[in-house]
């Protein structure tokens, strides 16, 4: 019997508001001493009244819009009852039948250029519970700093079929949340936590079977490995005719790489939802319009625009979109590069004409120099772009000099390193170091003859048919000219000379 996996995700995104969901306590308890960012409201003292955080509501609307959801213009809070030590009130303020947003869609790109659609069931607001610190068996300390932190819970439909798809979705979700500015979405810091629901069914059937929910996965690797393990575990149960008979909750043991049973899963009836009596319904139409008008460009649209407008390669686009600072820098470099190419003595048209004639080549070179050479040089120094004095104008000048063969790529790399270290203009660096590219044939003759005379064995083998040795001789000329020669010109002159 062939089985298919049915996977859905429940994701909690911690919103980066200044204060908590229903009180004025600072929303930075994760970096404070335990139980120091608390008050009677988030500790659930009798007689206190919660007041919704307007920014958290606006962020939830923004997140819903970014995920393609329909906004409920009338939304409300509900009480969700269950008794854990990390819920000081004995219930959680959440949302049930009228969440902030519903019925969204997120498209994921496949490696073959096609896409798959993941349906979003809902996005709702709720407060986080406190944090249990298990110091040793039988000893647990509760830190209430996290109690009341605003969360956006995002629930997908069971549209995933592989662990890799679930991981890809979470990575795309993190990028969206960061792009719209509502969360840092750092899984390792708990800003984004995932519960994965997994079940199996025979291929060709539509019936949904009891699912297993793996709780509180806090890294992309954990999500992928936990789902893969659970698929294998349930497959083995199906093979012995003992598939899961009830919905259960399991934990993930990262060190041992397996899931373990925790309890039977609660249902909506177990939560005993009822409307929160202390918070009136929220009318959100005006806020929704305001957030829609100020919604920034989303990652998917930005990727399409970068490839269409700047001709960046898909691999470069992913890096540029994931790093906003780098993406903004790349856009500015492209604009400046066209101006530099237009202003050079050997320009072949206006900036627009140059873009029309050479756009794909310019985009390919700019993208490669930013994502490979620039990022590589920054990584070697363990610094970020904003720690340098490199401007888009200077970087564009450097790329234009390479494209116009004023310097070769090897020299360009050396110039880039000096730019990072000193902040100097590339033209000044080239002039100061005497790195202007030599392409004059008369000037190169001496270096070429010296390379031929000093490497008779290589010359003899080249003439005997080992044509790849031409590169060795080119290297000898480049060494003699201290990298200032044009490799293409050198190769042609060498070939012509060795034929005579």
Is the model's pLDDT at 346 over the cut of 70? no
What integer is the mean pLDDT of 290-319?
Answer: 94
How far apart, in Å, are the Cα atoms of 435 and each of 94, 402, 404, 406, 410? 65, 12, 14, 9, 10
Least confident stretch, 72-81, 145-154, 282-291, 469-478: 469-478
Percent of the chain residues topping a pLDDT of 90: 69
DSSP labels, 71-100: E-SEE--EEEE---TT-TTSEEEE-SSS-S
pLDDT tens digits for 435-463?
Answer: 776 665 666 777 788 888 888 888 888 88
Residues 6+ apart with CB under 8 A from 14: 128, 149, 150, 151, 183, 184, 190, 191, 192
Is the model's pLDDT at 266 over the cut of 70? no
**pLDDT band at residue 355, thresholds of 50, 70 and 90?**
confident
pLDDT at 438: 65
**Residues 210 and 244: beta-carbon distance below 8 Å:** yes
Is the model's pLDDT at 10 over the cut of 70? yes
Residues 6+ apart with CB under 8 A from 92: 79, 80, 82, 126, 127, 129
The SS3 call for residue 236 is helix
What angle in degrees, to the nearest 10, is found between the helix axes of 487-499 and 456-463?
70
Least confident stretch, 104-118, 161-175, 179-193: 104-118
What is the DSSP secondary structure assignment for residue 4, as one 8-state letter?
E
The CA distance from 5 to 231, in Å, is 7
pLDDT tens digits for 217-254?
Answer: 999 999 999 999 999 999 999 999 999 999 999 999 99
pLDDT tens digits for 275-302?
Answer: 999 999 999 999 999 999 999 999 999 9
The CA distance from 231 to 226, in Å, is 9
- Mean pLDDT, rounded, of the chain: 90
**Residues 337 and 396: beta-carbon distance below 8 Å:** yes
Selected residue with higher pLDDT from 466 and 295: 295
Is the model's pLDDT at 500 over the cut of 80? no
pTM of the full predicted structure? 0.84
Residue 41 CB coordination number (10 Å): 20
- Closest among 260, 126, 251, 254 to 188, alpha carbons compared: 254
Please give the angle made by the CA atoms of 361, 363 and 364, to the nearest 5 degrees: 65
What integer is the mean pLDDT of 311-322?
Answer: 93
The CA distance from 284 to 305, in Å, is 31
Is the model's pLDDT at 32 over the cut of 70? yes
Beta strands in 177-226 (DSSP E): 192-202, 212-217
**pLDDT band at residue 61, thresholds of 50, 70 and 90?**
very high
pLDDT tens digits for 364-384?
Answer: 999 999 999 999 999 999 999
pLDDT at 268: 54
The CA distance from 252 to 309, in Å, is 44
What integer is the mean pLDDT of 154-166?
Answer: 97
| Residue appearing with tokens 């790489």 | 257
pLDDT at 265: 58
């Amino acid at each position: 019997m062939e089985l298919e996996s049915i996977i859905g995700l429940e994701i909690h995104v911690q919103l980066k508001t200044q204060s908590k969901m229903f009180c004025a306590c600072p929303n930075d308890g994760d970096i404070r001493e335990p139980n120091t960012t608390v008050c009677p409201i988030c500790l659930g003292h009798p007689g206190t009244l919660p007041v919704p955080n307007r920014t958290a509501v606006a962020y939830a609307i923004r997140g819903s819009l970014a995920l393609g959801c329909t906004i409920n213009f009338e939304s409300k809070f509900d009480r969700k009852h269950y008794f854990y030590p990390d819920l000081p009130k004995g219930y959680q303020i959440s949302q049930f039948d009228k969440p902030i947003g519903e019925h969204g869609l997120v498209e994921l790109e496949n490696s073959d250029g096609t896409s798959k659609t993941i349906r979003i069931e809902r996005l709702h607001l709720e407060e986080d519970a406190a944090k249990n610190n298990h110091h040793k068996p039988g000893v647990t300390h509760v830190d209430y700093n996290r109690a009341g932190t605003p969360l956006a819970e995002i629930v997908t439909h069971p549209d995933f079929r592989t662990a890799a798809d679930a991981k890809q979705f979470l990575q795309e979700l993190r990028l969206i949340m960061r792009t719209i500015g509502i969360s840092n979405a750092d899984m390792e810091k708990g800003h984004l936590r995932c519960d994965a629901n997994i079940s199996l069914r025979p291929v060709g059937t539509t019936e949904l079977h009891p699912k297993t929910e793996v709780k509180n996965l806090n890294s992309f690797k954990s999500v992928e490995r936990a789902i893969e393990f659970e698929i294998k575990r349930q497959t083995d149960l199906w093979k012995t005719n003992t598939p899961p008979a009830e919905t259960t909750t399991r934990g993930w043991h990262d060190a041992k790489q397996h899931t373990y049973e925790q309890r039977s899963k609660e249902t909506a009836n177990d939560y005993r939802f009822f409307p929160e009596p202390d918070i009136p319904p929220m009318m959100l139409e005006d806020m929704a319009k305001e957030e829609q008008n100020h919604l920034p460009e989303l990652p998917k649209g930005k990727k399409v625009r970068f490839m269409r407008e700047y001709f960046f390669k898909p691999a470069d686009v992913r890096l540029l979109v994931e790093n906003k600072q780098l993406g903004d820098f790349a856009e500015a470099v492209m604009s400046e590069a066209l101006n530099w190419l237009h202003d050079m003595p050997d320009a072949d048209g206006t900036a627009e004409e140059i873009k029309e004639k050479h756009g794909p080549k310019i985009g390919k070179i700019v993208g490669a120099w930013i994502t490979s050479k620039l990022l590589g040089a920054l990584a070697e120094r363990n610094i970020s772009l904003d720690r340098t004095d490199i401007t888009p104008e200077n970087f564009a000048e450097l790329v234009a000099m390479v494209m116009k063969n004023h310097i070769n790529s090897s020299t360009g790399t050396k110039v880039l390193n000096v730019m990072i270290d000193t902040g100097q203009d590339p033209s000044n660096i080239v002039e100061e170091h005497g790195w202007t590219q030599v392409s004059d044939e008369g000037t190169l003759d001496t270096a070429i003859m010296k390379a031929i005379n000093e490497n008779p064995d290589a010359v003899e083998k080249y003439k005997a048919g080992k044509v790849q040795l031409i590169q060795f001789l080119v290297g000898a000329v480049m060494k003699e000219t201290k990298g200032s020669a044009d490799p293409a010109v050198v190769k042609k002159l060498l070939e012509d000379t060795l034929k005579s």
